[in-house]
Amino acid sequence: LRRNATSNLKKALGKIHPADIAHLLRYFDVHEQKTLLELTPDLQRVADVLAELEPDSWPQIAELLDRDYLISIIHEMADDDSAVFIRSLPDDLGEQILIALHDDQSDDVEYLLGYEEETAGSIMSTDVFFLNQDISVRHAIEALQDSEDYEMVFYVYVTDEHNHLVGVLSLRQLLTVPPTTKLADIMSTNVMRVRSDMDQEEVAQMVAKYNLLAIPVVDDQGKLLGLITVDDVIDVMRDEATEDILRMAGTSEEELLLGYKSFQIARLRLPWLLTTLVGGVVTGTLMWYYRATLEQVIMLISFIPVITGMGGNVGGQTSTILVRGFATGRIDFSMIRQVFLKELRVGLIMGLVCGIVIAGVASIWHQNLYLGLVVGVAMVTAITVAACMGVVVTAFFKKIGVDPAIASSPFVQTVNDITGIMIYFSTATLFLPYLT
Amino acid sequence: LRRNATSNLKKALGKIHPADIAHLLRYFDVHEQKTLLELTPDLQRVADVLAELEPDSWPQIAELLDRDYLISIIHEMADDDSAVFIRSLPDDLGEQILIALHDDQSDDVEYLLGYEEETAGSIMSTDVFFLNQDISVRHAIEALQDSEDYEMVFYVYVTDEHNHLVGVLSLRQLLTVPPTTKLADIMSTNVMRVRSDMDQEEVAQMVAKYNLLAIPVVDDQGKLLGLITVDDVIDVMRDEATEDILRMAGTSEEELLLGYKSFQIARLRLPWLLTTLVGGVVTGTLMWYYRATLEQVIMLISFIPVITGMGGNVGGQTSTILVRGFATGRIDFSMIRQVFLKELRVGLIMGLVCGIVIAGVASIWHQNLYLGLVVGVAMVTAITVAACMGVVVTAFFKKIGVDPAIASSPFVQTVNDITGIMIYFSTATLFLPYLT
């Protein structure tokens, strides 16, 4: 790659879509990425590529690039992109860049940096195209013709003299009325909007629910601050889904940004594993406590894995339904009682089916009807309890403000391992006289 | 609800956003939903609400509604919505509706029904606004003014005389050039497009990657067939994420449509549970096979849960990373070797950490260094194998064309339970002389 073919490479980099270049760059290490970025013609293009790269590769690349070059790239970014970019950098580097940017841009960026992460304010663009309600359609069209600086103008937002958002127009509406009409007379006054401190996930849900292309962001007085476009919402939705999925598996979305760095990835996953480890040792202690029962009836060991495995699985299913329900807005706390009762019923039904199956297996395998009874009863109880635990643990995490996605894997599973073993061995101990 | 307050209710239903009505309807049973739909004024509104309802509640509601009323509602739907709606109905009811629809609409709908489910063709709208490349900007604007029937006109697609897609224009471009300019002279000829048989998940990835608002759908000759807008893409992305999450937990997205119907939900989840059950019995058989070892060294039982639990967890993490990577396009088969090696390294590192911890716990607890050694070695091996299995099983499912999301939970976990127990007890048997 680093040979003479650079001029061809330059040409290619000038033609490929920035998103594709960003995709290609993933296959290279950070030094090669830097070289390729520098080879890419046109600063606007480089800015687009950089914005499309994985956010966690930004700090490394930023450190490698020449400072002035970096600043001229950031200069070409939309202000929401550059705010997100600068936010990702180490504080001192971010400071330096803010100082070096031209005054007007750095004001906008600093302003965006003032919003808390993952709020509407932090993902909005301040490049929103809006007009005063008193101007005419003719003037509006003229303004539109000069509006090259704005991203994706599809709606025209209309404000009053104090910048309060009062209406919205589609471009087509402008074309279908006489040029002297005032905007206030044709605008629709029913404008969906979000407050700047709304959580980005809620914003995404709203845009998805109402099939919007963009949603304006206002402050608590209703003043227009910025715009969130649907492409940002898509990114938010995908990231939130990925976040949930990875957290449910006991790792974190940061992992995706570490590439092939095994040590860092291991460090990220280990806390969850150590939780499971502690849980496993607790379960083991319980089994040790019941060892007398086990020594007397060694055939009990054959059903330990199935009892703990099923409990973990059922708890995981229930917890997942809740986690996803909370995330998509399908479930809220007002329904939690109904959901609990449903999961209780579902758990009981599944427990009965699995209990009967495993009771049959146990009776036939070890030629012992009482063993079948013990295993069957334990299975029904363990599965039903697991289903309830799935709801209780997940809802509890949600209630205390911890992401319920992290509840579903290690916690629910560990809780259900422990209850499963307790149920199994206490049932067995109860029936001990019949088993020996 | 069914009292006299109907006229107020009617008024309310006439004002609330259709998406909100659909959301509210979830709290009612299907008969109440039917009543509320009938109370909603304006057929267009009813059509919007129906389109926003959960697809799996459609057949029931459709059966309940008066046939003529139903047909007049479908009449108001966009053709892509009505195709999806009719597709969800039982075949004979769908047929009847198709026959009863006016000729032109039923042609469009039947045409859309011809595409396979989950392809670009099945989710596109045929209401695409396009113009011939030879017409002038003035005529284009006139055409636009009459374009009320089309959903979301933001781009103007340009075709040649054989309806091949040859270019695209933004509305703003039309406003900024002299009215006599031909479209062919100002259009951009580099138009992103998808083939009608492309998988909807790929379409969604493409729209997300290139930040598009809409993407035209063409046939294999490049003829323009329809348009997929970003709001449909958002639905696809959310559904696919939910599908993956639920499948990973061993249930299915259909569950969400069953509401509180416990028996049907249980029936949906049971197959996965029974897989785990079989796996658990196999693991149990293995333990039974090693019972002599266990009877001699009863303290071995204290580490069974931790060995199987950790293996299942690590395998789940690895598998999840792959499942999500495949889904978002971040991982493909060309990287599978690298991913495997990475997971092997990560597994080894995590295995060593957990192995040392558990070896310490075991040695101190049972005052037996050899037990510590056995448990530690088994843990390192089990975790490393589990990490590799997570990659192998998931990639295998993907390769043979089965959704890898269903691999991660029951299969990976069962496989790792089995290998974990085998590793643990064979190590223990090997060291048996030192343990007793």
Helix/strand/coil (H/E/C) assignment for every residue in chain A: CCCCCHHHHHHHHHHCCHHHHHHHHCCCCHHHHHHHHHHCCCHHHHHHHHHHCCHHHHHHHHHHCCHHHHHHHHHHCCHHHHHHHHHHCCHHHHHHHHHHCCHHHHHHHHHHHCCCCCEHHHHCECCCCEEECCCEHHHHHHHHHCCCCCCCCCEEEEECCCCEEEEEEEHHHHHCCCCCCEHHHHCECCCCCEECCCEHHHHHHHHHHCCCCEEEEECCCCEEEEEEEHHHHHHHHHHHHHHHHHHHCCCCHHHHHHCCCHHHHHHHHHHHHHHHHHHHHHHHHHHHHCHHHHHHCHHHHHHHHHHHHHHHHHHHHHHHHHHHHHHHCCCCHHHHHHHHHHHHHHHHHHHHHHHHHHHHHHHHHHCCHHHHHHHHHHHHHHHHHHHHHHHHHHHHHHHCCCCCHHHHHHHHHHHHHHHHHHHHHHHHHHCHHHHC
Tell me: do B274 and B408 sit in the same domain.
yes
Residue A242 has a pLDDT of: 82
Report the residue count for chain B: 436
Q: Each residue of B187-213: pLDDT tens digit? A: 988 888 999 999 888 898 888 888 888
Examine the fold and report which residue of B114, B138, B166 is the final residue of a domain before the chain moves on: B114
Q: Which of B209, B242, B273 sits opposite A328 (nearest CB)?
A: B242
Q: Residues of A with CB below 8 A from B231's CB? A: 208, 211-213, 230
Query: Which residue type does A87 have?
Result: R
Q: Residues of B with CB below 8 A from A350's CB? A: 266, 269-270, 273
Count Cα atoms within 13 angstroms, Cβ side, for A239.
15
| Phi and psi at residue B261, to the nearest 5° | -80, 90
Instruction: Give a yes or no: residue A123 inside a domain.
Output: no
Tell me: do A219 and A326 sit in the same domain.
no
Tell me: do A93 and A200 sit in the same domain.
no
Q: Is the pLDDT of residue B89 over 90?
A: no
Question: Structurally, how many domains does chain A consist of?
Answer: 3
Packed helices A262-289 and B304-328: angle between N→C axes, nearest 10 degrees: 150
Examine the fold and report which residue of B83, B114, B145 is the final residue of a domain before the chain moves on: B114
Query: DSSP 3-state assignment of B23?
Result: helix
Examine the fold and report which residue of B229, B262, B289 is the final residue of a domain before the chain moves on: B229
Residue B150 has a pLDDT of: 60
Among residues A435, A127, A87, the alpha carbon closest in space to that of A293 is found at A435
Tell me: do A270 and A411 sit in the same domain.
yes
Q: Which of B298, B301, B309 sits opposite A276 (nearest CB)?
A: B309
Residue B348 has a pLDDT of: 94
Query: DSSP 3-state assignment of B415?
Result: helix
Q: Are A62 and A47 in contact (CB under 8 A)?
A: no
Q: How confident is the model at residue B243 (pLDDT cuts 50, 70, 90)?
A: confident
Alpha-carbon distance of B171 to A310, in angstroms, equals: 58
Q: Which of residues 266-285 of B touch A (CB under 8 A)?
A: 266, 269-270, 272-274, 276-277, 279-281, 283-285
Query: DSSP 3-state assignment of B132?
Result: strand
Residue A408 has a pLDDT of: 67
Among residues B356, B347, B350, the alpha carbon closest in space to that of B375 is found at B356
Q: Each residue of B368-423: pLDDT tens digit? A: 899 999 999 999 999 999 999 999 999 998 888 888 877 666 788 888 888 999 99
Q: Each residue of B297-306: pLDDT tens digit? A: 888 888 988 9
A103 CB contacts (<8 Å, ≥6 apart)? none
Tell me: do B290 and B216 sit in the same domain.
no
Among residues A196, A230, A224, the alpha carbon closest in space to that of A210 is found at A230
Among residues A203, A184, A201, A205, the alpha carbon closest in space to that of A193 is found at A203
Tell if the CB–CB gap between A324 and B255 is shorter than 8 Å: no
Place of tokens 């063993």: A371
Q: What is the CATH number of the domain that holds B173?
A: 3.10.580.10
Tell me: do B309 and B270 sit in the same domain.
yes
Instruction: Give a yes or no: residue A281 inside a domain.
Output: yes
Q: Is the pLDDT of residue B61 over 90?
A: no
Q: How confident is the model at residue B360 (pLDDT cuts 50, 70, 90)?
A: very high
Query: DSSP 3-state assignment of B165?
Result: strand
Q: What is the CATH number of the domain that holds B405?
A: 1.10.357.20
Tell me: do B320 and B275 sit in the same domain.
yes
Alpha-carbon distance of B133 to B161, in angstroms, equals: 8
Tell me: do B292 and B357 sit in the same domain.
yes
Residue A104 has a pLDDT of: 66
Q: What is the CATH number of the domain that holds A24?
A: 1.25.60.10
Q: Is B24 on the interface with A (CB under 8 A)?
A: no
Q: Which of B260, B276, B298 sits opposite A342 (nearest CB)?
A: B260
Tell if the CB–CB gap between B175 and A141 is shorter than 8 Å: yes
Summary mean pLDDT of chain B: 84
Query: DSSP 3-state assignment of B151?
Result: coil
Place of tokens 């639905």: B235
Calculate the CA A95 to chain-centre distance: 28
B185 CB contacts (<8 Å, ≥6 apart)? none
Tell me: do A155 and A297 sit in the same domain.
no
Query: Which residue type does B48 have?
Result: D
Token readout for A391 is 């709801």
Tell if the CB–CB gap between A284 and B294 is shorter than 8 Å: no
Tell me: do B222 and B258 sit in the same domain.
no
Query: Measured on CA atoms in the order A308, A314, A320, A325, is the torsion positive or negative?
Result: negative
Instruction: Give a yes or no: residue B43 inside a domain.
Output: yes
Token readout for A366 is 């070890």
Instruction: Give a yes or no: residue A201 inside a domain.
Output: yes
Q: Is A234 on the interface with B (CB under 8 A)?
A: yes
ipTM above 0.95, yes or no: no
Instruction: Give a yes or no: residue A10 inside a domain.
Output: yes
Give the number of other CB atoms < 10 A from CB of residue B433: 7
Instruction: Give a yes or no: residue B402 inside a domain.
Output: yes
Alpha-carbon distance of B116 to B47, in angstroms, equals: 24
Q: Which of residues 308-347 of A touch B (CB under 8 A)?
A: 308-310, 312-314, 316-317, 319-321, 323-325, 328, 330, 338, 341-342, 345-346
Tell me: do A205 and A317 sit in the same domain.
no
Please state, for a pLDDT cut of 70, what percent of chain B lies above it. 95
Q: Are B407 and B397 in contact (CB under 8 A)?
A: yes
Q: Residues of B with CB below 8 A from A211's CB? A: 19, 231
Question: CA B205, B210, B211, B212: dihedral to nearest 10 degrees?
Answer: -90
Instruction: Give a yes or no: residue A239 inside a domain.
Output: no
Domain that holds residue A68: 6-114
Question: Is the backbone of residue A163 left (phi > 0), alpha (psi -120 to 50) or beta?
Answer: left
A100-118 burial string, b = 16+ CB within 10 Å, else e? ebeeeebebbeebbebeee
Which of B229, B232, B273, B424 is most worth mutating to test chain A (most A CB atoms within 10 A of its CB)? B273
Residue B152 has a pLDDT of: 56
Q: Are B266 and A314 in contact (CB under 8 A)?
A: no
Per-residue pLDDT of chain A (436 residues; tens, 9 = 90+): 555 667 777 888 888 888 888 878 877 778 888 888 888 888 888 888 888 887 777 888 888 888 888 888 888 887 778 888 888 888 888 888 888 876 667 777 777 777 887 888 888 888 788 889 999 988 888 887 776 656 556 788 999 998 999 999 887 778 778 888 898 898 988 888 999 999 888 898 888 888 888 899 999 898 999 889 888 888 888 888 888 888 877 777 777 766 778 888 888 888 888 888 888 899 889 989 988 888 888 888 889 889 988 888 888 888 888 888 887 777 888 888 988 999 999 999 999 999 999 999 999 998 989 999 999 999 999 999 999 999 999 999 888 888 887 766 678 888 888 889 999 999 999 888 887 7
Tell me: do B400 and B271 sit in the same domain.
yes
Alpha-carbon distance of A210 to A203, in angstroms, equals: 11
Better-predicted residue by pLDDT, B174 or B257: B174
Q: Which of B279, B280, B302 sits opposite A288 (nearest CB)?
A: B302
> Running DSSP on this structure, what letter comes out for residue B410?
I
Tell if the CB–CB gap between A276 and B310 is shorter than 8 Å: yes
Q: Is A364 on the interface with B (CB under 8 A)?
A: no
Instruction: Give a yes or no: residue B106 inside a domain.
Output: yes
Token readout for B256 is 């969400």
